Copies of this chain bind each other. A is one copy, B any other.
Amino acid sequence: MSNIKQRPIGVFDSGVGGLTNVRALMERLPMENIIYFGDTARVPYGVKSRATIETFTAQIVDFLLQNEVKALVIACNTIAAVAGQKVRAMAGNMPVLDVITAGAEAALQTTRNGHIGIIATSTTVNSNAYARAIHSRRPDARVQSQACPLLVPLVEEGWLDHEVTRLTAREYLKPLLADDIDTLVLGCTHYPLLKPLLRQEAPGLALVDSAITTAEAAAQALAAADLLNAANPAPDYRFYVSDIPLRFRTIGERFLGRSMEQIEMVSLG
């Protein structure tokens, strides 16, 4: 059996968006090997039922455990919201990080007035997972959530600075801005690509990018468990997907911020 520190971190998402987390991990933990799984054959999860999301998630975690990962990063807000407990039960003692826990903690460190806004998919909002994660840490915080189902397709269309995207964001942000939130959590892996536009439409708000905060949480958890890979000058990055659709590489590389050399397709379920 190989040295456990050499093993990869397993990162997974319902699709391509979790590559924003891989990018943040590459930058924060440049010595770590990473294996990514994106369930592109069945994306998006944000409109599916809890039972279906749990079934699909268990298949992904099985695949990553077979690949001998040393830690798991749930890069998908919907999976974290709906199936986080299931993943932790399957992972045993292994560190499991997720974008919702990390985002909630970062939001609490950021807010001054204790009023936090969340934008996310419908399923994430309906799960109320961010509010629970925030309130379990600070019961007097005020959380207001807004489902934004159009933002993912707008990002995937590449309309990152388009009038349509601006109007859509403005409509979604209206109820949050009417409240006096001072912090806005980008509760979906696609949203960091809209940061410039969101900064313009919500000036004065601190934006919490959960890809960055999750990478920081992963660094701390690996250090605490003595699992950091200290000497690995040429880390190995492997990308697995359940489908390789048209434009996959183009969109993926937009999220990852660099080229993807090795993409392999595997069937689950």
Docked complex Cα distance between A83 and B159 (Å): 30
Contact yes or no, A48 B52, CB < 8 A: no
Give the residue of B41, B126, B167, B247 whose beta carbon is less than 8 angstroms from that of A163.
B167
Contact yes or no, B41 A246, CB < 8 A: no
How many copies the complex holds: the figure is: 2
* Nearest CB of B to A89, in Å: 22
Q: A243 and B48 in contact (CB under 8 A), knowing A41-B42, A164-B164, A164-B168?
A: yes
Looking across the interface, which residue of chain B has its beta carbon closest to that of A15?
Answer: B47
Q: Is A233 at the interface (CB under 8 A from chain B)?
A: no
Q: Is A196 at the interface (CB under 8 A from chain B)?
A: no
Contact yes or no, A243 B52, CB < 8 A: yes
A93-148 residues with Cβ-Cβ distance < 8 A to B are: 122-123, 126
Contact yes or no, A41 B52, CB < 8 A: yes
Give the residue of B150, B171, B242, B245 whose beta carbon is less than 8 angstroms from that of A150.
B150
* Nearest CB of B to A63, in Å: 16
Contacts of A43 in B (CB 8 A): 47
Q: Is A269 at the interface (CB under 8 A from chain B)?
A: yes
Contacts of A246 in B (CB 8 A): 47, 49, 122-123, 126
Q: Is A204 at the interface (CB under 8 A from chain B)?
A: no
* Nearest CB of B to A204, in Å: 24
Q: Is A197 at the interface (CB under 8 A from chain B)?
A: no
A35-66: CB near B (< 8 Å → 1, else 0) gives: 00000111100011100100000000000000
A216-269 residues with Cβ-Cβ distance < 8 A to B are: 242-247, 269
Contacts of A269 in B (CB 8 A): 269
- Of A48, A244, A247, most B-chain CB atoms within 10 Å: A48
A-B contact pairs, 26 of them (CB 8 A): A40-B48, A41-B42, A41-B52, A47-B156, A47-B246, A48-B243, A48-B245, A49-B245, A49-B246, A52-B245, A122-B246, A123-B245, A149-B153, A149-B156, A150-B150, A150-B154, A150-B159, A150-B164, A152-B153, A153-B153, A163-B167, A164-B167, A164-B168, A164-B171, A167-B167, A269-B269
Which residues of chain A have a CB within 8 Å of any CB of chain B? 40-43, 47-49, 52, 122-123, 126, 149-150, 152-154, 156-157, 159, 163-164, 167-168, 171, 242-247, 269
Known: A122-B247, A152-B153. 7 other contacts (CB 8 A): A42-B42, A47-B245, A52-B242, A122-B246, A123-B246, A149-B153, A150-B157
